[in-house]
Chain A
């Protein structure tokens, strides 16, 4: 049973890729709680990946700690010489 959370994490990550097309979200299962962490560009995508995770979470509570980071205006330049 000790490695069950590992499999669950992997299954949720698979589901995030298949349904929400997000590959960069970290999935962490601790004490029967699923933590989602990472960044997306819109609130809609944040909700979407939570919904996708729920379909594989086997009824566990989900804490969606993914943050929404909108695209910032460019700032400065780097000179390479």
Chain B
């Protein structure tokens, strides 16, 4: 069994430096790894990135993070990612990583993701260039994210995004903004890879628990949702998402 700590939307900056990090003290007693689901900063400045890196460095377990929309606000996302990496944090953007958790290989693939909406209320790759660019940004990410998930050589497969793959964990948010909170394309990639768990942030007024159409558990770990420094999920290998079904899926996907 592995224990996975997760949090999103910590939104730190110089004015609250030192307020979050201490909450991570002794994390290894509760978890094997910490996943951070984006929006580490508020304005997306490198200075805030430095604070985020220092806070997360308080964790005594491997830290895997993705960036969020706030981390892009000042066009310094690459710098923020570099600062986090220098602090020993793995930053995913349509990529994957495998963390050895006491002999169990935990595979994590992820990235920021983007919006577009959910079945019944989603944007189409149609019309003005701006609209097409919006939808294509999500689609392009979902393709890389899906390949990264399938490419993980691991015992447990976890998806980590900032935007939500499902509408279920958005309950509490105004319906009008759902298309800006996530996209079903992310869920499709997660289901293709039979991920064991999907973790996201972004939806501060949403709810913690949801499910993809394919049956993968989804958890919204935005700080205002979980209302604690991090949530801990215990996963045991051997459930769904095993290798046989997976290779079949990989073939299907490759042939598409």
Chain A interface residues (CB < 8 Å from chain B):
21, 23-24, 39, 41-42, 44-45, 69-81
Contacts and interface: CB of A to CB of B under 8 A. Distances in A.
15 contacts: A21-B43, A42-B15, A44-B16, A71-B229, A74-B229, A74-B231, A74-B232, A77-B232, A77-B233, A77-B234, A78-B231, A78-B233, A79-B234, A80-B233, A81-B235
B200 interface: no
A21 B229 CA distance: 21
Give me the 10 closest cross-chain CB pairs, A-B, nearest first.
A77-B232, A24-B204, A79-B234, A72-B228, A21-B42, A74-B228, A74-B229, A71-B229, A78-B233, A74-B230
Interface in B17-65: 19-20, 23, 30, 42-43
B233 A71 contact: no
Given A21-B70, A24-B224, A80-B197, A73 B229 contact: yes
Interface residues of B, number: 31
Contacts of B223: 41, 71
Contact of A76 (B5, B15, B232): B232
Contacts of A24: 204-205, 224
Given A21-B73, A42-B16, A71-B223, A78 B23 contact: no
Contacts of A75: 228
Contacts, number: 68
Nearest to A44: B15
A41 B222 CA distance: 13
Nearest to B234: A79
Given A24-B204, A74-B230, A80-B234, A42 B3 contact: no
A31 B230 CA distance: 40
A41 B232 contact: no
A69 B15 CA distance: 16
Contacts of B23: 71, 73-74
A73 B5 CA distance: 13
Contacts of A45: 15-16
A38 B86 CA distance: 35
B235 A80 contact: yes
A23 B20 CA distance: 21
